[in-house]
Structures are given as structure tokens and as C-alpha cells.
Amino acid sequence: MSSFIHPTALVSPQAHLGEEVYIGPYSIIHEQVEIGDYSRIGAYCEIGLPPGGHETFSASYPLKIGAHALIRSRCTLYAGSTIGARLECGHGAIIREESLIGENLRIGSGSIIEGHCQIGNYVRLQGNVQIGKGSLVDDFVWIFPNVVLTNDPHPPSPHLVGVTLKAYAVIGTASILLPGVTIGAHAVIGALSLVKSSIPEKMLAAGHPAKVICPAHHLRDYLNPGKRAYPWPENFDRGLPWENQAFQAWLAQLQESPTPEIKQTSP
Amino acid sequence: MSSFIHPTALVSPQAHLGEEVYIGPYSIIHEQVEIGDYSRIGAYCEIGLPPGGHETFSASYPLKIGAHALIRSRCTLYAGSTIGARLECGHGAIIREESLIGENLRIGSGSIIEGHCQIGNYVRLQGNVQIGKGSLVDDFVWIFPNVVLTNDPHPPSPHLVGVTLKAYAVIGTASILLPGVTIGAHAVIGALSLVKSSIPEKMLAAGHPAKVICPAHHLRDYLNPGKRAYPWPENFDRGLPWENQAFQAWLAQLQESPTPEIKQTSP
Amino acid sequence: MSSFIHPTALVSPQAHLGEEVYIGPYSIIHEQVEIGDYSRIGAYCEIGLPPGGHETFSASYPLKIGAHALIRSRCTLYAGSTIGARLECGHGAIIREESLIGENLRIGSGSIIEGHCQIGNYVRLQGNVQIGKGSLVDDFVWIFPNVVLTNDPHPPSPHLVGVTLKAYAVIGTASILLPGVTIGAHAVIGALSLVKSSIPEKMLAAGHPAKVICPAHHLRDYLNPGKRAYPWPENFDRGLPWENQAFQAWLAQLQESPTPEIKQTSP
């Protein structure tokens, strides 16, 4: 019922805050920002910054942030994107304009979504990830530290050719994805790989340049070599909709259901 | 005629602000800072920080920032550098002391210029680039995300051996340049390359370690394979002095002119 | 005798500040934080943030920071770690909870210690380094920009398998260390290496994947080829306990001494 706005925060009277929203010290909330119920915004955040620099501080279009957001200190979110419920940001993350972002995005400290991106549900970006303009990232994709999704085929050029990551794909630490590549569903890219061409679904690829090594399910579990390590949802469920349930059972249920259960998970 | 200083900003009375300068919320402008006309500084910036930590907040030497600067939120610029007109900074960029920086520098979010560097005109650094102390970067150089210009030949050592990037050179995403290498004019370094030795002008080099592959002009334009992709200025002019003009014509005109036109481009 | 707290800083009355502590503009010091004498904290720092997001701003356990700390602007230090004297942080560094950190740590701008780490004395991290949860880093280790110490053997998984870096080890720029590897004492890892297996002490390893190349002492000094470049402490002493003394003499003295001298170096 009651929100808390730190007395040092600068909140536009035109911003729409839901119920029980917390705004931390020295944060700035611009006009035309909508923040969903039970959201928490740490210190020094700037939310709803108009694109195109600081020419004007009147937002030309809204920023919508769903309920239960947890935005840690020093984040910068531009006006003009729509973000689903339960966004969780590390420190200093940046989300630029005109992106459409699903529910349960976790974006690590220092990571940047450049704008004009489409990001699915339950996507996880770890620290210092850079998602170039025009990228498409499906549900349940994991991206580890320092990965860059590029978009210029011969930089600098006027062309914009985004990367596509299909559902459940895993991109290992510090891998660089060149413009236009598609990583198939459940594919796994090893650390520090240079991905110059598309990788089929369910494959493990790695190297400089990345090459397909084997089906990802050939990898064994670290502690239990009798078990396969991939598809990863069989072994990992923390914070995911199949938590405390078998992934395959959840998946079967999802496919039978006329409306996708994923949209209905409670916090 | 009129500047705007947000009431929460801390601006030293000894700072010199030009006309129509905007200083955003919670920013700090130290003494002996000169900020040119029509400049805009976003929130949470600290401009003119004395080097050597926080031992003293009285600047020992000035920081000069030219007109039309656009410094986005959370940037840290130390005292003791000189920066030309139309500087454009992403969020959280850092520019250390004793650097001489030309006009129209664009430095992306999270990037760091370590100090004691010489940076030409129209240089573009994208996100999370690190330019080591003692680097030399000529006019029109492009550096893509996560590139590091190193400077220690066998770290940690007392030696400082900077990298030199000649005019129009392009350094692809996440490439690492080892101390002392020179990248020739119009040379192109592919993504995720480890550059251990100098690369001649106009060549494409890539790999781990980087090797010369072919003249860069052998690369074809992404959408029009009949056209060459490099030299890039033939295909790309956004925000550059040859905008809406053929690069070769601009170049010819520049070479005939007794004073370089590049210094005279209007905003 | 006298401390300085900027009037815009928010300092909990439950925080314990030593003598002559400086707290810069807009910084936040939470309760149960102990900051040692002569420490300086720049602008926009948040010190003692409770882990687990912003659910509560009452710290559940203390953050102890030793004397003579120099914490530059925009750093975030969580509650629940213990940090020795003479900590020196670049801008925007993050240190998470439950880490045990020795004396004289230098952590560069944008670097992140993820928490639950053990960091020795005189460790140096340069810019944008990421130290994964559960890492062990011994005394005098150097880590250069963009290095990542990972910890998940087949991500995402429930397993946590940290990296171990032994005393005096050197990790070159942008190298990625895979989970569970140990880098031996005085070993040197070249830039942009992918380290998939442990490296014995005193060896130089590099490449993708990293392989042992030769004993590190085969490398020659950049300016004096008659001298070996490694072990690096023979050639470099800035800010280290053997400053203005031969490393071997210091080491001999240390080994004879019943109490390690390293704990007794004065600032």
C-alpha cells in the first residue's frame, strides 16, 4: 500500500509508480515512466532517460517496467522500452531504447542492451555482457561474462545485422558472436569462442573460430559422470518455472496447455 | 546565453563554464575545469578530479573540454587533460590525466582512457574499451567493444611501451593489442584477435595470433558484393567530415588545402 | 583527529568511522560498517550494502575495511566482507559479500569480486576483471584487464568450482580461466589465453587453449636482454614490501623471521 521514495530521489510527478515501490537515494525517475508494483530501485539509478543524449529531459515515449523489478544501484534505463515483470539488474546495467523485453530478465553488473533488441523470458546475462542493437534473444538463454553480440558485418558500415540466440542456448564467457549468426536451441558455445557461422541446435561448439565439437548432451555432469550435463534444464532449475519439478514434465505440461504457463509463474 | 545547473550539482566557483552549458543532477565540477559553450553533462558525473586519488580536491592543473561536449551520466574526467570540441561520452566513461584529445572523440559506455595518451580527431571507441597509458591513436580510428591496448611488455614491469594506431585503422571487438605494436593506416583487425606484431597499412589481419590475411579492400560489401567494403570511409560517413560527399573528393580537397579542413567542420 | 563527511553523504549513525576519514559527496555508508583510520571514500560510493538486493537496508553482518583505504568514486562494497589495510579501488569496483581480503589489495575500475572469495595480500586486479564466487587468490598475484575467473563447469549448473591462483602468479589481459584450474606460484599466463587445465609453477603458458611454452624465466627483459624478465619481483617493486631492496634478500629475511614481515609493512 505504501511506497518509499528516498528524500534525495528526484521523481517526476508524471511518473507512474505502482504500489509498494522503493526508490533509493539520489535516483532519478523521469516522466512517462511506469514502474510496476513491489519494485525496488537502488541508489543512483536513472530511469526513463530520453534517447539521443541530453538534448531534452522530456521523454518522448514511455518506459514500462513490470512488477517486482529489482534494479540495483547505478543502472541507466532509457525511455522507450517495455520490460516484463521481475526484471533483476546488477549494478550499473544499461538498457537502451526501443527494446521489447520479457519477464524475469536478469542482467548482470555492467551489462548493456544497446536498444532495438527483442529479449524473451527468463533470459540471464551475467557481468559486462554487450547485446548489440538489433539482437534477438529467445526465452531461457544464458549469456556469461564479457560476451558481445555484434551487428556490423564490416565495421564501420551502415549495415545492421543482428545475432539470433534460440531458446535455452548457452553462450560461454568472453565469446564473440559475429553479425548475423544464429545459435540454435539448446546449443552450447564454449568460453572465448569466436563464432563466425551459425551453430545448429543442441550442439556444442567452441574454438577460434568456433566449430561444432559434438552434441552437447555428450558432456557429462561434473559430479555425476553417469548423468548428462546438457540439456541444462534437466540439471538446473533455480529461479526457473520448472523449479522443484522435472523439466521434461514441465515441458510436456506446457505443450498441452493452450496458454503458455511461463507467463503465469508467480514471483 | 543561459546555462542550467541542476540545484543538486556541486560546481566549484573556480570552474569556467561556457555559454548555455547544462549540468545534470548530482554532478560535481571541480575547480580549474573549463567547459566549452553548449556542452551538456548528465547526472552523477565528476569532472576535473585531481589525479593521485582523493588526497586533495584542489586541482593542480586544468581540464579543458571544448564546445558542444555531450558527457552522459556517471563519467569521470580527471584534471590535467585537454579535449577538443564535440566530445561525446557514453555512460560511465573514464578519461584520466595528461591526455591530449582531438575533436569529435566518441567514447562508449564503460570505456577507459588511462592517461598520458594522444588521441586524434574523430576517434570512436565503443563500449568497455581500455586504452592503456602511453597509447597513440590517430584521426578516424575505430575501436570496437572490449578491445584493450596494453603497454607492459612483460607485466608487471617498470617498462611502458604504448600501442600506435594509425589513421582510419579499425580494431575489431575484443581484440588485444600487445605493447609496442603499430597498426597501419586503414588496416583492419578482425574480432578477438591477439595482435603480437605490427600490421602494415591497408591490410586485414586476424587470428590468435593475428596474421595478415589479405588487403582489406578484398572484403566485399555485405549488401552489394560488387563493391569493396574497405577502405571504410568510401562506404560510411555518418557524423564524419565527408558526410554527404565522396571520401576521395573530400580527401583531395583536404590535401590541396593549406590548413586542414578537419579542424573547421561545424557541429 | 578530524574526519570530513561531505554534507550530501548519507552516513548511518551505526557506522564506525576511524580517525581522519574522508567521505565524499553523495556517498552512502550503511550501518555495521567499520572504516579504518585515514581512509578516503570518493563520491557516489555505497559501502555496506546488504546482500540479497534491496529487500532490507539493515545490514545483517558487518563490513570491515582496514586503515588507509582509498576507495574511488562509484564503488559498491557489500556488507559481510573483511578487507585488510590499504585497500585501493578504482572507479566503480564492486566487492560482494563474504569475502576475506588481505592487505594492500588494488582493484581496478569496473572490476568485480563476486563474493565468497579468499584474496591474499598485495593482490593487483586491473580494469574490468571478474573474480567468480569461490575463487582463491594468493599473495602478490597480478591480474590484468578483462580477465575472468569462472566457476561453473558446465553452465548453468548447480556446481561451484573455483579457480586457484598461487602466489606471484600473473594472468595476462583478457585471459579466461575455466573452473577448477590452479595456476602455480610465479607462473605467467599470456594475454587472451583460454586456460582449461592447471599450469605448473614458474611456467609460461599461453594460447587457445593455453599450453606450457617454457619456464617463465626464459623471457628476457625488454630493455636489458641480458636480464631475465621473470620472476617479476626481481625487476619490479613499486608499492611492494621489497621496494628499494632486492627481492631475494627480502624473501630470505621473510623466511628467517618468525612472524611474516608482510603484515608489518608500513603505509
pTM of the model: 0.95
What average pLDDT does range B51-77 have in this prediction?
82
- Per-residue confidence (pLDDT) for residue A9, from 0 to 100: 98
Overall CATH class of domain B4-226:
mainly beta
Residue pLDDT, tens place only, C189-237: 999 999 999 999 999 999 999 999 999 999 999 999 999 999 999 999 9
Confirm if C51 and C78 have CB atoms less than 8 A apart: yes
Interacting residues of B192 by C-beta distance below 8 A, sequence separation 6+: A176, A192, A194, A208, B172, B173, B174, B175, B208, C192
What average pLDDT does range B237-260 have in this prediction?
87
Q: Please report, for residues A253, C40, C176, the alpha-carbon distance to residue B81 in angstroms, rounded to integers and kept in the order given.
A: 62, 24, 34
> Which three cell numbers, joined as nine digits, stand for C22?
574522508
Average pLDDT for chain B: 93
- Per-residue confidence (pLDDT) for residue A54, from 0 to 100: 46
What average pLDDT does range A243-259 have in this prediction?
86
- Per-residue confidence (pLDDT) for residue A257, from 0 to 100: 73
Interacting residues of B68 by C-beta distance below 8 A, sequence separation 6+: B36, B37, B38, B39, B85, B86, B267
Q: How far is A228 from chain C (nearest CA, A)?
A: 10
Residue pLDDT, tens place only, C21-46: 999 999 999 999 999 999 999 999 99
What average pLDDT does range A35-64 have in this prediction?
83
User: What single-letter amino acid sits at C214?
Assistant: C
Q: How far is B120 from chain A (nearest CA, A)?
A: 18
What average pLDDT does range B86-102 have in this prediction?
97
Say whether pLDDT at A152 is over 80.
yes
**How many whole angstroms from its chain centre is CA C149?**
13
In the CATH scheme, what is the homologous superfamily, with its name and number, of domain C1-110?
Hexapeptide repeat proteins (2.160.10.10)
- Per-residue confidence (pLDDT) for residue A60, from 0 to 100: 65
Residue of C nearest to A234 (CA): C157
Say whether pLDDT at A259 is over 60.
no
Percentage of residues in chain C having pLDDT higher than 70: 93
Asked whether the beta carbons of residue C219 and residue B154 sit closer than 8 angstroms, the reply is yes
Percentage of residues in chain B having pLDDT higher than 70: 93
Asked whether the beta carbons of residue A156 and residue B174 sit closer than 8 angstroms, the reply is no
Whether A238 contacts chain C with CB within 8 A: yes
Whether B192 contacts chain A with CB within 8 A: yes
- Per-residue confidence (pLDDT) for residue A264, from 0 to 100: 39
Distance (Å, whole) CA A169 – CA A25? 37
β-pairing, A22-23 vs A4-5, is: parallel
User: What single-letter amino acid sits at A7?
Assistant: P
* Total residues belonging to chain B: 267
- Per-residue confidence (pLDDT) for residue A53, from 0 to 100: 53
Whether C10 contacts chain A with CB within 8 A: yes
Whether C157 contacts chain A with CB within 8 A: yes
Average pLDDT for chain A: 93
Under the banding of pLDDT at 50, 70 and 90, the label for residue C15 is: very high
CATH number of A4-192: 2.160.10.10
What average pLDDT does range C99-119 have in this prediction?
97
Asked whether the beta carbons of residue A124 and residue C192 sit closer than 8 angstroms, the reply is no
Distance (Å, whole) CA A49 – CA B76? 19
List the single range of A109-113, B133-137, C244-248 with lowest mean pLDDT: C244-248
User: Chains that contact A by 3+ CB pairs under 8 Å?
Assistant: B, C
Whether B109 contacts chain A with CB within 8 A: yes
Pick from C91, C170, C221: which is nearest to B94 by CB?
A: C91
Residues of chain C neighbouring A24 (CB-CB closer than 8 A): 54
Residue pLDDT, tens place only, C71-96: 999 999 999 999 999 999 999 999 99
Say whether pLDDT at C106 is over 60.
yes
User: Best of C6, C47, C94, C125 to disrupt the A interface by mutation (most A CBs within 10 Å)?
Assistant: C94
Residues of chain C neighbouring B157 (CB-CB closer than 8 A): 221-222, 229, 232, 235-236
- Per-residue confidence (pLDDT) for residue C261, from 0 to 100: 46
Residue pLDDT, tens place only, A23-35: 999 999 999 999 9
Does C51 sit behind a cis peptide bond, omega within 30 degrees of 0 on the bond before it? Answer: no
Q: How far is C236 from chain B (nearest CA, A)?
A: 5
Q: How far is B162 from chain C (nearest CA, A)?
A: 13
Burial B200-225 (b: 16+ CB within 10 A, else e): ebbbbbbbbbbeeeebbbebebbeee
Residues of chain C neighbouring A44 (CB-CB closer than 8 A): 26, 44, 46, 74
> Which three cell numbers, joined as nine digits, stand for C214?
617454457
- Per-residue confidence (pLDDT) for residue B263, from 0 to 100: 47
Asked whether the beta carbons of residue C146 and residue A144 sit closer than 8 angstroms, the reply is no
What average pLDDT does range A77-92 have in this prediction?
97
Does B62 sit behind a cis peptide bond, omega within 30 degrees of 0 on the bond before it? Answer: no
Q: How far is A150 from chain B (nearest CA, A)?
A: 8
Asked casually if ipTM beats, i.e. exceeds, 0.90, the reply is yes
Whether A156 contacts chain B with CB within 8 A: yes
Under the banding of pLDDT at 50, 70 and 90, the label for residue A258 is: low
Enumerate the domain spans of chain C: 1-110
Distance (Å, whole) CA C77 – CA C73? 12
Residues of chain B neighbouring A159 (CB-CB closer than 8 A): 222-223
Residues of chain B neighbouring A150 (CB-CB closer than 8 A): 144-145, 173, 191
What average pLDDT does range B13-27 have in this prediction?
97
C-alpha atoms less than 13 angstroms from C-alpha of A89 in its C-beta half-sphere: 31
Say whether pLDDT at C55 is over 80.
no
Q: How far is C110 from chain B (nearest CA, A)?
A: 8
- Per-residue confidence (pLDDT) for residue C256, from 0 to 100: 84
User: Best of A20, A22, A222, A232 to disrupt the C interface by mutation (most C CBs within 10 Å)?
Assistant: A222
